[in-house]
Structure 1
């Protein structure tokens, strides 16, 4: 039980770190192309990852793996998801790009059931669909605007593609955690994504300003820490249960949009954010509440005890 709650705490921590990373990525995108951001985010992320391995007394032992193709498969999904995620962030406000990412938890449910043979509870299903409804409300003000900007359309398309690849990447992470340490998974993911970003060098990188360089380094450090937290969380709790807690990232995105970019959400978007928070609460307390509700069996037992 303690391990389960530790997994939830780690996932919440990862969510906050990923939100800050997204902020750095959006700020860096005003100068740098997506491929260059991917390289910096992934290469700098190796610093906290290697320090983490040293702290756990796993370096360089953790670099040995019996499942190289599993890491390649996971990192390939993650690489594509990162590209689409950063592309979406370069065109959309943080809250809207984050909302599109919340399609991934909905997709994790069937993937976790098929690939990992998990059996999510009814509360998890209810929470996931409630969160999806909140995401729809977040998107509605943008989708209902006549004559969508081309950049917005590209951002939305990239966000949808990111959601699909992210769902498969998370399922693959869960499969790897049965034999691989979180540090090993994070290390090879960062290496492969850094190489993928480096391949875009011939397509035109920029000489970043000091401000943009700070954002690139910040994205790498927060991204590396977030990935460690997320992988540790998946090693401690079912992927289908942790899915709903990703919705708390919307709170971070809304706050950052307001404080950093001055983007005020519409009332329908705020209601969508409320549904997202409610979804996380259902997962945390839903099963306990259901167990406390009077059922026919409980009533019969209570009647028998009174007699």
Structure 2
């Protein structure tokens, strides 16, 4: 696979991962108001191990891919990922899916300076402009939430902001790991540590799951497992700063899930935000950044 083809494949994988992770978030939100956060983390992580292991078997990498010379990197990445997961699930408990998703889109904005300093990535003015436009769209989308806070909305917003800050570090950390660790191994250890940490919360009170609740959690686990693999594969093929704006497309899916599953319709201000975010992603799609000239370095 040529460098340019590999780079384009990274963008396509990021778009697919964004859809999968947004669908996973919708499944979690369907039960987030009822199921405790720790129980959500356990089932989301434990069931994700199934598609991850199947993927490694399909690639003839099981269990060899799990071998690592950097266990501390996996532990650090996994704990950060679990904390981010807990914050995002908290945001989903109190906010519509689109609003929680939009708060998460602050992470790509925060990734840019981190990618420039830590990974030495070169950022073009066009990428800066596209991400700024996307950030403006997020502000429009959240306008109603900040103007008319509902019960618990402030908790959801605060959790979403913490999630965004954490994910900025997680993505840069993951990028450094893909140079020596396989995508499947990164996803596997995150799911494994999440299962252990999540199960430890059983002493704080879990609830009995109905058939429908378990179905939503199972769906979240499978989608999350596949989504993590695809996202890590995308990160291994293209610079973090170039992939970041494509995360904005997940907001389109989030609005659709809100409408279909939860009967939530955004106002005109929110729609302006959607168009701004979509346009930002299109700008990056057709831009010719320096990363395209040398996409294999990743740094």
Shorter-chain TM band: over 0.9
The alignment covers a number of residue pairs equal to 286
Report the more deviating stretch, 117-126 or 167-176. Answer: 117-126
Q: Which residue of 2 aligns with 1:43?
A: 46
Q: Which residue of 2 aligns with 1:137?
A: 140
1:207-243 Cα offsets, whole Å, 9 max, x none, are 1100000001000000000000000000000000000
In 1: Cα distance, 2:263 partner to 2:158 partner: 24
Q: Which has the larger radius of gyration?
A: 1
Pairwise CA distance, 1:262: 1.1
Pairwise CA distance, 1:27: 0.7
Pairwise CA distance, 1:205: 0.4
1:117-143 Cα offsets, whole Å, 9 max, x none, are 111211111111110000000000111
Pairwise CA distance, 1:116: 1.0
1:157-185 Cα offsets, whole Å, 9 max, x none, are 00000000011111111000001110111
* Contact 1:41/1:223, CA 8 A, preserved across alignment: yes
Instruction: Please report the TM-score for the alignment, with normalisation by the length of structure 1.
Output: 0.92
Identify unmatched segments of 5+ residues in structure 2.
290-299
Pairwise CA distance, 1:31: 2.4
The runs of at least 4 consecutive aligned structure 1 residues that moved more than 6 Å come to none
Do residues 177 (structure 1) and 207 (structure 2) align?
no
Instruction: Please report the TM-score for the alignment, with normalisation by the length of structure 2.
Output: 0.94
Q: 2:34 is paired with a residue of what secondary structure?
A: coil
Q: Which residue of 1 aligns with 2:292?
A: none
1:13-32 Cα offsets, whole Å, 9 max, x none, are 00110111001100121321
Identify unmatched segments of 5+ residues in structure 1.
289-307
1:65-110 Cα offsets, whole Å, 9 max, x none, are 0111111111121111000001101111011000100000001101
Q: 2:207 is paired with a residue of what secondary structure?
A: coil
